[in-house]
Structure 1
Amino acid sequence: MLEKMLSARIQLGSLTMRLPSGETRVFGHGEPAAEMIVHDNAALRRILRDPGLELGETYMEGGWEAGAGGLRTLIEVLMRNFAEAHPEGAERLTLPLIKLMQQSNRIGRSRRNVSHHYDLDEALFRTFLDDGMFYSCAYFPHEDMTLEDAQQAKCQLLMDKLRLQPGMRVLDIGSGWGGLAMYLAEHGGVEVDGVTLSTEQLRVAEDEAARRGLSDRVHFYLRDYREQEGVYDRIVSVGMFEHVGEPQFSTFFRKINSLLAPDGIAVLHTIGVTGVPGQTNAWVRRHIFPGGYVPSLSQITRKVEQIAGLAYTDVEVLRLHYAWTLAEWYRRFQAQRASIAERMGEKFCRMWEFYLATSEGSFLWWDLVVFHVQLTHGHGAVPVTRDYLCQPEA
């Protein structure tokens, strides 16, 4: 059954499969040419039964590995020939209940979900992130930029969209390792409060702010966004909305609405889908981002439209930038793989490289992008044209 399916589906590129018996099967032809070395026939049966979960599970367990061409090429061939499945018919009717169970991210559960991923030790993230520890999509005005320069360009783009003025109060929801908050304070002359649910990120961010002499202007808190109080001239959130969960979208935007000053600007930076909304991949939900959900643009705008006084004033879709970011993360991770395996084990390394490779593929071959949504209380907060984003830095 598997051979019949692969023969029918592999039309772009080729897949060579080496079986435990020593036999070899070739599906498709031409480039890209991928190779899959199967060590356990049971792995193939599991993949056939539930590919969304078991392709990653069996790779982590050593049931198969990528041969010539490597893992990224194998993922490319599979993703280009197998479109991401979206539920239809009766299955779609069950989605609201499924999402409620998978994404009911109350504060306590959100803390546990964040800890699962972001409280992995600092040393792991330093092996593949840039010097500023930005764990989100970079921005490449030029494709040949270094990762460090592209992350700084992302910060500048967000700062331009926020229209900062010295002395403003800024809230960074999901402040991560603190890089954006410190960039805004240094380059915009503003005061920033950052909130995170990761104790490891909080520790690193506070230490770095102190080292750079910013502790009087940048403050980090171990706090859920729903617990934040006050009024802010500007609000920014980068790479955090994916952890909110669809059942809490209205809560999130109502909180933005209540925290944002009357003439304020908020900018949301989030991974999104350009296709039909669906479910979070089962393997990603189990091992990488429990409780996570990537929204469509319509799911975001529909919730914003329901909140009186809050409106979107600009929407930008960043395509391929995250694919380039992930490709560099994968390269850097592989350069340090032996030392990471020594500390964290081979199974962890297989999980992490599968996560990075399939994430890159999702931005290249499937429907993942990054949305920038600018929100205000009225028309006067931002210029009526986008020319202000194209002006050279003063």
Structure 2
Amino acid sequence: MSARPAQFQAGTSAVPATQVEISVKCRGLRDLDTFSKSDPMCVMFTKDVKSGQFYEYGRTETIQDNLNPDFVKKFVINYFFEESQKLKFELYDVDSKSAKLSDHDFLGRMECTLGEVVAAGGDFQRPLIGQGKNCGKIICRAEELGNCKEVIHLQMKGSQLDKKDFFGKSDPYLDFTVVHRTEVIKNTLNPTWAPFRATARALCNGDYDSPDLIGEFSTNLRELTRGPGPTNAYEVSLLTCRVEQEYSFLDYIQSGDKLFPALGFGARFPDMSVQHEFALNFTPQNPYCNGIQGVLGAYNNAIKSVQLYGPTNFAPCINHVAKFAATKRDGSCYFVLLIITDGVISDMPQTMQAIVNFVPFREFSQRYGNSSVAVAQAALAREVLAEIPEQVTSYMKMNGFLPRQPSSHAPSAPPPGNKLISLQII
């Protein structure tokens, strides 16, 4: 739940443009060669959601005679926040030039999700599973591509431009466009460049009748950043030029400390009282759990200490989170309320009133027609989650909040300004 949630519209989420580059290294691989060390190669697989099968995505180079390889080849893959993208890494000792993996000795494998690697914010380490007890470990790191995050803000004005209209003045506009840049041909005054392909939309937005050219000038970004002055006076003059950093969703989530407040509802305590809003770790002053494992641990401990009990009332927890989120407007937290339940909602009118931006599930049911409810529910989950990256970055930019530097050790409680995303687990 964000402090200023945007209106949700089913099916309107933008396709993410986040590409990440995964680097891989291993330590302590098994030695399967008799007179030398193993010659490892790493193969990455992605899992197809429909078939449930893993398919090869790419391979690294083979590093000769090395049990602690740092592979140079990187895997570039699109990151979708709203999907669980299953990955599998397999290590092989390459024994020949054969492209068939079965012709090489298997060293070990590791399965995870791309989200886990991205969320690590640094090295993501897991043991390799294979024959034998100790097959070594694999270390993956995901880095966002396109590290240039500078956005240039320009304003320019024209002065004494040519009159192009017969009965009136010109209707000027300024166009900054690079459609295609050819290759450089050395040492010639009569170059013939290679053919290239461009869409009509990129060339002229589909308009085959070009407008009248009033004038043109050339400059560069370094010159523009010097600001208004004689060197930035052309047929148009520079009024302002400002450079600012444009941070991505990954910049923000990788700076979080992975602490999650978790609440429970509908439980009867040993004193026979029934509560619909309590800290899952029974520490109301600090309901934060360390990572998903911490949430699961708190849940497993809670169900041994209380009795699940009706009625199922959601409104107290929803209102609690809403009030808590309203007090955190310094950019340190961004709240997402996740409710997990298999019970019947007892306070439906109050719950609907508490949820201000109601997500229209009926639109997904109509769109998927005769598909199963599970398919429509999965589509709904993807659409809702797909809204989060844009909401987070828009909210942070609107309020001028910058990403925090990720810390190597998570504190026991969330200090102000050190945690970006807080997930409320009910």
Same fold (TM over 0.5): no
Rg larger in structure? 2
Q: Normalization by structure 2: what TM-score?
A: 0.19
Q: Give the structure with the higher percent strand.
A: 2
Q: Normalization by structure 1: what TM-score?
A: 0.20
Q: Give the structure with the higher percent helix.
A: 1
